[in-house]
Amino acid sequence: MTLPVHEPGASQPHPRGTGRNPATGTRRTGRHQPRVTTRVDSGEAEQFSVLGRPLDRVDGHAKTTGRARYSAEYAYPNLAHAALVCSTIPRGRITAIDTAAAAALPGVLAVLTHHNAPALKPPQKPTPVNLATLAPGTTVNYLNTDEVHWNGQPVAVVVAETVDIALAAARLVRPSYTELPSTLDFKAAVPDAHPQRRNAMLMPGGGSKGDAEAALAAAPVSVDLRFTTPMHNHNALEPHATTAVWDGDELTVHDGTQNIDWTRRHLAHRFGLPLARVRVISTFVGGGFGGKGSVWAGTILAPLAARATGRPVRLMLTREDVYRTVGGRTPSIQRVALGATADGRLTSLIHTSITQLGRVGGHPEQVVSQSRHLYAAENILVEQRQVDLDAVANTSMRAPGESIGTYALEVGMDELAYRVGLDPIELRRRNEPERNPLDGKAFSHRRVLETFAIGAERFGWAARTPEPGSMRDGRWLVGMGVAAAYHPAWQLPASVTVRLAADGSVVVKCAFHEIGVGAATAQAQITAHALGVPVEAIRVEHGDSDLPAGPGAGGSAQTASVASSLLEACAKVRREVFELAGRSADSPLRGRRLADVRARAGGLFAGAAGETYARILTRAGRSHVDGVVGSTSRLGELADQARFVAKFLRDGRRWVKAASGAQFCEVRVDPDTGEVRVSRWAGVFDIGTVVNAKTAASQLRGGIVMGIGLALGEETLVDPATGRIVNATLAEYHVPVHADVPHIDVTCLDDPDPTMPLGVLGAGEVGITGVGAAVANAVFHATGRRIRDLPITLDKLL
Amino acid sequence: MKDFGYLAAADVATAVREIRPGAKFLGGGTNLVDLMREGVESPDTVIDISRLPLTGIDTGPDGTVRIGALVRNSDLAAHPMIRARFPMLAQAVLMGASGQLRNMATVGGNLLQRTRCPYFYDGTLPCNKREPGSGCAAIGGFNRMHAILGTSESCIATHPSDMCVALAALDATVEVESVRGTRRIPLLDFHRLPGDTPHVETALEPDELITAVELPANPVAALSRYRKVRDRASYAFALVSVAAALRVEDGRVAAVRLALGGVAAKPWRAVEAERVLTGAPATDAEFDRAAGAELAQAVPQSANGFKIELAKRTITATLRRLAEGTPA
């Protein structure tokens, strides 16, 4: 493993030109004609980087043996337990809360309401000067107000000696309300949809080129389609949990979060504490999917309860509490209209969406995002509108926007392919853009068509007969569908410290998040790659606000974001070690040029001449060398943030960056009952550099599984009369079970993006994109029925 | 969950002596404990009957099979004689719940499963079954999963059991015991339609304990299958299920047993369809006609009208496969 010793930067070319297929462990060579060859033998592998290897997770043993502790598993002495009482009306004011019966239950320590809860500062207004102001999921000042803004808002907290007592007592709390008029029904509110409000921190949702409506009307071939998708909930395995401990006015919080830094800053603000007095620990998180990206009620109410009772308090939400107090994915209504020439060249692409916002929070979902980038239409119109409901604030959920946006766009492309009489892959080939269709920006990297070509080969697309209903297996109707996957690549600021010790061991410190994806493993591999040391010599410390601040785990950006700073920190370490070596006449590196030096075999080498880190540091009398990236002072942080924003904007003007791919789905449909079973899947992805073939494939596969849920089962049912979520349970909210998931063949191009740190584009979200469309297109191929309303349940096929 | 007393009964006599208002028998606990956690059930005492000697599966001299009330679902489904003589029963049990739940759940408890209507579970919304007289939020609400047969203006909930659908087709009898003695209730009379008392779900008296289920010898039962149609491949309640047994002689239906699940507050024996089919040609057209006759009395709600067509199609498809001799 070697790496040229020079300053890494955003435009640093990736050192490798070859890669491996994570699904098979095979390697391919060459940039444009991938060949799947046999597995590399160990001798050959030595000359390749540790990057990409399918290493087991560094924390896998701790997780599988229960040693890894999650936020509800910290047992403090004298720990008390909290339970939520949530509103049962959608909007109004609390006129009274009868807490007598709850308070009288033996073991109850306190029943906190807006009458007796400690005062909190209200959430700040979002400002680009302080991105942490984006942290709160809602603007509600819980237990500091008599106002109710949605059915399920927490209105009281019971603290008790045991969790069972707390839950039993919570049922005995009786709030009374005066109801106020409310808007609850998403579809009924559509006429009141307003254009997307400009928000300083969000990219504009809309855009246009030419006159798309006129071009649509004039097009020889066209489709004009309406789609709906329902509300979804994340359903991470670990329900949101917070353990809060006060020591005087110092607050320590164990909280399953995707954003430690924002959580810490938000809690400091709400409780009126200096930042230094708040510590947030989130070592392991049992899944997030965006549901833990904002600060929701439980994270605030646990420390509130702890302050009120003087006891450490654990608040683990019930599954029902998660549905009621944490937002999900907005429902959507979408229009996709495509006009084309007779030979399938797009003359018009229109994609518009209506989504929902809570009146007390939520972000406009970027539903049309991919439609700005995927196809070379002459005329384009993309537009987003929103309705305001008295509902729990919506939030990010895996590939917010693209997961449901690709469903509509890619079903539209399939319908157009049938109209034009083209194979759907050929239709995409004819509309592959050279540059970003909307504004002519360059793609940093674009290999969408190659993913289709490889996928077609692996999946056996050529065996498909295009006529709907033409393929059968016994009594089953068989269908094959295809769709593009697309997710933008992001990079966020991160502070990282790397310490190389005289014994050759390395400690990496960064408060990034391990939400189940294998983040520590990936960063250990990147460190091994950059310093030329074995992975076993590296310890990665993460998930604690006492460490240098990491990026949020969102936008598929964490790996690249940490990698950027980590590579810079490692470069600093190498340079300092090189300088130390050069001071000694004994060093074979003396007189060499830094540019000729490679980090490998636990040291620095110029050709065969070199020596180990241990030898250099020991001779220099140094116990360690630190590489520090990122400032710990407030001024330094602001400067870092300004630098980051400047680079972000500069990059955004130059390039469109994205992970992409092709999803291939085979379904079987029972002709009598309409039951749909996904029987085969192949996904081919361009996620840039693959850091760990095993964990990357797992992330992509998990995205596809979640997409199968989106396609076939998942739907949060909101009662239009009361705004109450009716199926707030995993028994009635249908995520896929094992029997719903076939073998999933995952392939990555493993080709670095030239503009991203280490060439990484991100793997967390692109896997779910395109899945809904691939399933819907396969169902059409099997049955001749177009289902434009998710989920595709059997009643829609009868 | 509310605090409750716990008593482990050593024998049936103790169990039926100790039962009283406010107490509940605890078998596998897979449904009762769930309901207690949700606050729907709140017994003050739980009488644990799981150690009672009611775990046998025995065949009498006339071929009648006696299944103890505490036979675990997994053991029932795996029993070679049950699989050979009553395949629909083994299949129905295996299509319910998950392996872990079936390892705990008992035959007696399965009979007493309560509905999965979401409004029954949510204590903040009206439900005549949970709180008589409060109303029914499912009528006009989300009722895609709800009943199309035997509903009332008080309740449109379904019975969630798969096992009971097979038992309904197999003319099972439920044996119950109390301090007043032993009583036998035909399974078809065991569960009740809602009428205006949907909270009264069975013919079981509050002080009675289910001790066994009996299946009469029935040669046609060996030619049977259970077909469950649901929203995902496993771990979901039936939208519609069909338990069917069919013997065809000279192209005509010589014997048929048919019951439906997921369509009513009780396992629904398709008496009308059986009447139409008996002696009729074993053809798709006759299967369709019989299914139509059975479903003629169906009443759709706002979101479950598809169940009528789905039930007809599933009946026909299941009978067709039996007529073709297709292995289950």
Tell me the pLDDT tens digit for each residue of B121-167: 998 999 999 999 999 999 999 999 999 999 999 999 999 999 999 99
For the residues of B23-47, what is the DSSP string, one character each? EEEESS-TTHHHHHHTTS---SEEE
Mutate to test the interface with A, among B36, B134, B143, B232 (most CBs of A within 10 A): B232
pLDDT of residue A384: 96
Annotate B139-176 with b (16+ C-beta within 10 A) or e (fewer).
bebbbbbbbbbbbbebbbbbbbbbbbbbbbbbbbbbbb
Annotate A672-688 with b (16+ C-beta within 10 A) or e (fewer).
bbbbbbbbbbbbbbbbb
> Does the beta-carbon distance from A171 to B123 stay under 8 Å?
yes
Q: Which residues pair with A450 in a beta bridge?
A: none
Shortest Cα distance, chain B CAs vs residue A705, angstroms = 13
pLDDT of residue A13: 36
Four-way CATH pick for B5-50: 3.90.1150.10, 1.20.1050.140, 3.30.43.10, 3.40.1280.10? 3.30.43.10
| Active-site amino acid positions of A | 765
Q: What is the rounded distance in angstroms from the CA atom of residue A301 to the CA atom of residue A298?
A: 5
Q: Which two tokens stand for residue A664?
A: 């291939």
Q: What is the rounded distance in angstroms from the CA atom of residue A527 to the CA atom of residue A530?
A: 5
- List, in order, residues 6 or more apart from A99 with CB less than 8 Å away: A111, A113, A156, A173
pLDDT of residue A8: 33
Residues within 8 A of B (CB atoms), A 148-167 only: 164, 167
pLDDT of residue A636: 80
Please tell me which of the candidates A88, A167, A798 has its beta carbon nearest to residue B306: A798
ipTM: 0.96
What are the φ and ψ backbone dihedral angles of A254, each rounded to 5 degrees? -95, 120
In sign, the C-alpha dihedral spanning A123, A128, A131, A137 is positive
What are the φ and ψ backbone dihedral angles of A705, each rounded to 5 degrees? -60, -45
Q: Give per-residue pLDDT as tens, B215-240.
A: 999 999 999 999 999 999 999 999 99
Mutate to test the interface with B, among A88, A672, A775 (most CBs of B within 10 A): A672
Query: What is the helix (H) or strand (E) element at residue A165, kind and residue range?
Result: helix A163-170
Angle value at C-alpha A682, between A56 and A437, nearest 5 degrees = 105
Q: Which two tokens stand for residue B21?
A: 């208002």
pLDDT of residue A637: 79
Shortest Cα distance, chain B CAs vs residue A393, angstroms = 21
Chain B residues near residue A88 by CB distance under 8 angstroms: 124
Domain map (residue ranges) of chain B: 5-50, 221-323
Return the residue of A nearest to B231 by Cα: A793
A179 in contact with chain B, both atoms CB, cutoff 8 A: no
Q: Which residues pair with A668 in a beta bridge?
A: A478, A677
**B221-323 has which CATH code?**
3.30.390.50
pLDDT along chain A (798 residues), means of 10: 35 38 38 34 48 96 96 97 98 98 98 98 89 94 98 98 96 97 97 81 78 98 98 98 98 98 98 98 98 98 98 98 98 98 98 98 95 97 97 98 98 98 98 96 96 98 98 97 97 95 98 97 98 97 97 94 97 97 95 95 95 97 97 78 83 93 98 98 98 98 98 96 95 96 98 96 97 98 98 98
- pTM over 0.90? The answer is yes
Structural contact between residues A328 and A232, judged by C-beta atoms closer than 8 angstroms: yes
